[in-house]
Structure 1
Amino acid sequence: MSNPLRSLLEDPRPSAPPARVRRDWALLAVVTVSGVLEGVLREDLPLRGLSVVLAVGLAPLLLWRRTHPLAVVATAFGVTAVVDIVLIASGAPALDMYTMVYLLLLPYSLFRWGSGREAVAGLAIVLVPAVMSLVVSWTGVADAIGGVAVLVSAFALGWAVRSQHGARERGLEQAKSEERVLLARELHDTVAHHVSAIAIHAQAGRALAATSPSSALEALEVIEVEASRTLAEMRAMVRVLRDEAPADYAPQPGVGDLERLSQASPTGPRVEVTVSDDLAALPRAIDAAVFRIAQEAVTNALRHARNATLIDVRVSGDRSTVSLVVRDDGDPGAVDPAHEAGFGITGMVERALLLGGACRAGPCPGRGWAVSATLPRQVSA
């Protein structure tokens, strides 16, 4: 089963965000005003009062088209079908309200937000008044084909937008998953380091226990510290690991390797790296995260910052946190959409969140783009 079809059948329909709700209210206002103006100004409008009442009365259904697409389709097209039947039975002329074109948004919404069963049921509901309208107001084959094409286009557009949105969501989830797996591998290396230290000090303590009890006590203290760190990072690894991926045992780069980024582009913008002196003895997971986020931010700037001459990388820290800021001086307002919506930013944000920190990316007030991240100095358990 294809991914778009699966998403259609599973019916993942979240509540509409506030911005979309505001747009629906604005759309309702436009439809209402248009219906009233058409009723007042259009001289050849048949059944003026009924036409305006029907167009304006059904317009509030637009507010529920995202959350209850089948209900609004059934209500709108059911009412229009009943009205058409009554008009046919009484010999009255058919309604011809231009404003009623907004009803095409409802079939679109059905395939955009409805489940598979709702789409099938709504399609049957829509066909009844559509066929009735063709029969009652028949004007030729060309007009009939055009009307059917418009209706089918509304369904197809809803399906296409749903598929595109689903592909985008799957891409974001994949980026997050890949970042989690990479972080789990790095945590694996850190845990292996701590366990090795525990084993070495345990052996040393056992060898010195008989001749130097104080040395054995020192070894036990080191083992206690290493065991606590191992437990915290094991919990973090279990929390972020999603699947069984092979561990990468290569040494992970860290803050000490940030100078590599200054050689990232010999022909592009200059990359300057500034690291404060109070970043010694960082946990390996935090150390690697700072490098990975800075690396991704610099890569994004090299790809997307237009007319940039400088990429500034600054890392500082205090007793509890590590801060990273990567800023470029590219043209203001000239941001590639891939920069703002790319999966690389999703990965940076996900990595920071998993380690108990935060990461933000966006345009600077003057010019350029900035990525800022704040991470704790210790991995949360």
Structure 2
Amino acid sequence: MPWVADSILGLVVTATLVGTISARQGGTQQPDAIAYAWAAGLGALMLARRRYPRAVLGVTALGLFAYYSVGYPAVGVAVPLAAALFSAAEAGRLVTAAVTSLGVLGVSLMFRLMEGQDAAFVLGYDLAPHVTLMAVAIALGDGLRSRRVQQRSQRELRDLMARQYIQEAESWLREERLSIARDLHDAIGHALSVISLHAEVAREAIPVDDEVAGPAVRQVKAAASQAMRELRTTVGVLRSKPPGRSVTVSLAYLSPVLDTARAAGFDVEEQVEVAPGTLPRIIDAAAYRIVQEAVTNVVRHADASRLSVKVVAGTTRLRVFVTDDGPPSGKPVRAGHGIAGMTERARALGGSLRTRHEASGFTVEAELPLREPA
């Protein structure tokens, strides 16, 4: 604990000064209780050195002048100031410590020379130990401060790196959640829509008085609808930022998606002008998912009979068109998770997606780059 260290330093300062005073070297006044109280006072100042380093240094310097003005035995200059100089330098008050050292040394030299002490002895012999001790005290304090600053910087760097790792992990988790949400919506949602559609067709085809098949089909329809609602809730919870993860699907396996539309009664026209294996896998997978979702939307929502899927690879862009011949409903296009998911998927790869509803039908048009994003 800091106060324990400061207490020990104060005791060392007091003991050193008491020992020096007791040697009774020089001076015109014999040491008394005031002299020893002065030594104890300089030691007690160490308890305030962390909060008030400059004040402690100033009081120590003034106390030193007051001590010598009484004529007590010599205690030197550097010894009483060393701990205060160390404390000031440790607190980053390097200039204050240096200026105080020079000031005290200058005043001490002036008075000693004025008293007639030998200049050669004072300047050539006695000055060097004082300067050395003061310089060492300041250097030790500044070195300790620098080490603490370095340690604090290292801790801050470690904390920053830890926060970055946490943020990266959270970002990865968000992307994985969105990836799961998209796959759930694109794959399972597609299958549930087809189940619900065929259950509805079967229900209308079964005679009203059929007491076995009718309730069973209605139960299938209700279960599919409930599963779709729960799926939408799950997708809503999982949805987050767009991912950059590829999936193991491809335009080469588009036939089952289109066969589903054909089974639902649509006249499907397919035109995929892309050689297998020529697209980057992530682009290939994104194009497949966009077509799958667009076809699912047509099967679920469109009052149409014809469906056209066209995929064309240019020099730098892959263009995807999914068009149906359903008449305009007069209502704005509902930007649900399906269209939002397709748009996010395209944008995540540096592409775009547009929808338009014209007299000839509804069209989903997507453009994807023919290279993976950097």
Give TM-score, length-normalised by structure 1. 0.46
Give TM-score, length-normalised by structure 2. 0.47
